[in-house]
Structure 1
Amino acid sequence: MKKRLNVVFWLSPSIILCYTIIYLYYYPRLPEIIVGHRDLSGKIDGYTEKSFIWVPIVFNIVIVGAIGYLLKRPEMLNYPADITDKNKESAYFKMQIFLAITAIITSALFSLVIFDAIGFFKSANAFYFIAYFFLTVIAIPLLILKARI
């Protein structure tokens, strides 16, 4: 895996680490029962214990781990075109970019789920959410462009 692509991929575990630290910070203050699910209109339709939030965090780690494994072994993936010696490097690199960006988007979406569950979107934390949003949605693409992939 190329060095710049490696840097892009490691943004995803960084996002996981950031939202896990935020979750650990808020965990002692959370009530035992928290929002577990919302319907499409945003209304709460399910509750869960606060310890259940570890499940999506672990699930995100497993997904990112699987993507990291596939990034190192792009020959294992299915491609829409035949892979030849001529197009092999280009096809593998494009797939690796796709996987790295997928890992980042997946981690960012999981972070939104965690933030919603711990009540991070309330007005008292709006500044922190805006800062987090800026880092994940604006800064990450800029880093990707800077890496010139």
Structure 2
Amino acid sequence: MSNPYRPELKLSKTKLERIFDLVGIGVFLLSLIFALINWPQLPDKIPGHFNALGEVDRWGSKYEIIILPIIGLFIFTLMTFFEKAPHMHNYPKRLNESNVEQFYLNSRMILNMTKNSCLIIFGLLIVQVIRVAKGEIESLGGWVSSNVPFTSIYSVNFRFI
């Protein structure tokens, strides 16, 4: 089996990628600020897990909320690394010199949208967990179970519309 054609190209971020980064990072940072502001008012027990309907099915220590930003930052870091290395992504055999740049841009855009969608979802989840813990709302509602698959499908199909 021969080595596939995978040149390392230096492609600058598109305007749309920069906008998505700004929105994703902005929502995530705002949720962290919200968490820090509300930390003193949080009860000792906060929601630790939700079922598919968004109802709390396990309560845990308020320190468990720290897991969400850690996972969000890990996903952000890992996806940012792969976003900067489109030559490492998987491509069809029809990749060649004439279309490599467009393939790289499309692949990077999908990864960028997925990365920022994850940041937004984790940011909203942090806010909602705090709101449930403080008694402002009773559950997450159905938005998590309906929006996570939608966001994943949308980010992949966005480039083909």
How far apart in 2 are the matches of 1:75 and 1:37? 38
Superposition pairs of residues 1-149 of structure 1, within 5 angstroms: 1-4=12-15, 5-119=17-131, 122=136
Higher helix share: 1
Q: Which consecutive unaligned segments of at least 5 residues does structure 1 have?
A: 124-149
* TM-score, length-scaled by structure 2: 0.69
- CA deviation after TM superposition for structure 1 residue 21, in Å: 0.5
Q: Provide the residue aligned with 1:139 in structure 2.
A: none
Specify the code of the residue in structure 1 equivalent to 2:13: K
Q: Look at both structures and tell me which one has the larger radius of gyration over its CA atoms.
A: 2
- CA deviation after TM superposition for structure 1 residue 99, in Å: 1.2
- Bigger Cα displacement from structure 2, 4-13 vs 74-83: 4-13
- CA deviation after TM superposition for structure 1 residue 41, in Å: 2.8
* TM-score, length-scaled by structure 1: 0.74
Say if 1:54 and 1:81 are closer, same or farther in 2 by CA, change over 3 A.
farther
Structure 1 vs Structure 2 CA RMSD: 2.1
How far apart in 2 are the matches of 1:91 and 1:3? 14
Say if 1:118 and 1:91 are closer, same or farther in 2 by CA, change over 3 A.
same
